[in-house]
Structure 1
Amino acid sequence: MSPSLRGTGRQYWVAVRAMIVLTAVLGIAYPLVMTGIAQVVMPAQANGSLIKVDGQPIGSSLIGQSFTDGKGKPLPQWFQSRPSAAGTGYDANASSASNLGPNNPELTKEIQQRKTTIEKLDGADAASVPADAVTASGSGLDPHISPQYALLQVNAVADARGIEPAKVEKLVKSMIQGRDLGYLGQPTVNVLQLNLALSKMDPTGDEGRK
């Protein structure tokens, strides 16, 4: 075998060994170590930030969901989520925005329809409806709404449940999450967590009951 062929073979063998070592370290060992650390340090986040009731998962605090009937009509006894353009709504397999521009006739029509629905459901005038109540997020999976939208729904939810509006408003305010790190983004309300807390409130306003 010529020296040049031996040199080429040696280079290939070095490359193969490097690939095996890097695959073992970065493709197997590193992910296992990081997974183990995550399970010890932050198991809830590592497993999808699931929210459970009686041991059964009902959703994730990271992914929104709809609170509507089989025909897509909002259920008045629940706080409503932000509109979603992901699939038929909050489809994690089809995360996306509508990709419609602000002057698109279809989007303009959808926004007006959503405003009309909110006006009827929550007894609000169009001028008081915040943007997140009528527009979808970029991912279509946003689990949060603005405190303004949550507070806008208080009277309708309270009326549907026979609870004093002041007590529902107090619950909403207690669920407001501040800006990340104190300065990033805007205050938000997680709709699933809010509705879960709402389900534990009886008409007298006492919480913690099922």
Structure 2
Amino acid sequence: MKTILPIFRKMTAFALILTVLCGGLYTFSVTGIAQLLFPHTANGSIIEIDGKKYGSALLAQQFSDNKYLWGRIMNVDIQTFTDASGQPLAYGAPSNLAVTSEEYEQLVSDRVKKIQTAHPDQAGNPIPVDLVTCSGSGLDPQISVAAAKYQIERIAAERHLTSQEVEAIIDRYTTSRFLGIFGEPVVNVLKVNLALDGILK
């Protein structure tokens, strides 16, 4: 018993020290540095214009109207939770559907039909894969440049704009490769749609 107590005291002291260092000092330091150097990003990259918040540039929003740029398939549940007034609350979660499952195959098939019907001008052209598939998170805020430009004619026709005007907006909110070499250029769906509505300049 005498030999166990000193070991127990040391273990307890070690656990307390690590809790203070890792759970306290480290957390507050990182949070403080982030708020000091990158406050916009640290607070969720919220797009706020004239006092109104339109969403986060880091999380997808679902757009289904023909006048908007469409993003990837989202994993959104609006049936499980409701707010205090009984209105459905939407939340997203990673997908656990296997790409070989019948449910996933049906999801992709339905999306292909929707894309083809909405874009008769693209008949015969392959559909960019990110327009008919879901990412692991189900909440990707961006799509590929090819997926965005695939939709130009539909959006232009719906908004009575020229293809060049729509393409210019897409180009404005296209992000290049990270450090010029990592990843691929991507288009932020929310920013493009806010610009199409004249909200974001």
When normalised by structure 1's length, the TM-score is: 0.80
Which residue does 1:70 correspond to in 2?
none
Q: 1:197 aligns with which of 192, 195, 198?
A: 195
Residues 80-99 of structure 1 correspond to what in structure 2 (within 5 A)?
Answer: 80-87=70-77, 93-99=91-97
Deviations 1:156-198 (A, max 9, x none): 1122222222111122123221222222222210101111222
Higher relative contact order (CA 8 A, sep 6+): 2
Task: Provide the C-alpha distance between the structure 2 equivalents of 1:170 and 1:13, rounded to a whole number of angstroms.
Answer: 67
CA distance 1:99–1:106, change in 2 (3 Å): closer
Shift of 1:86: 4.4
CA distance in 1, matches of 2:98, 2:73: 14
1:61 aligns with 2:57: yes
RMSD: 2.3
Q: Aligned letter for 2:156?
A: A
Residue aligning to 2:179: 181
Structure of larger gyration radius? 1
Residue 87 (structure 1) shift: 3.3
Contact 1:115 1:126 in 2 (8 A): no
Worse-superposed segment, 5-14 or 174-183: 5-14
2:72 paired with 1:75: no
Write the letter of the residue equivalent to 2:65.
Answer: L
Q: Which has the higher strand share?
A: 2
Instruction: Tell me if the contact between 1:78 and 1:195 (Cα under 8 Å) persists in the aligned partners.
Output: yes
Gaps of 5+ in 1: 68-73, 202-206
How far did residue 145 of structure 1 move? Answer: 0.9
Say which is worse superposed, 33-42 or 178-187, in terms of deviation: 178-187
The alignment partner of 2:2 has SS state of: helix
Percent identity over the alignment is 31
Stretch of structure 1 that moved more, 17-26 or 191-200? 17-26
Decide whether aligned partners of structure 1 residues 18 and 129 sit closer, same or farther in structure 2, where only a CA change above 3 A counts: same
Counting only pairs closer than 5 Å after superposition, residues 4-83 of structure 1 correspond to structure 2 as 5-67=1-63, 74-83=64-73
Unaligned runs of 5+ in 2: 79-88
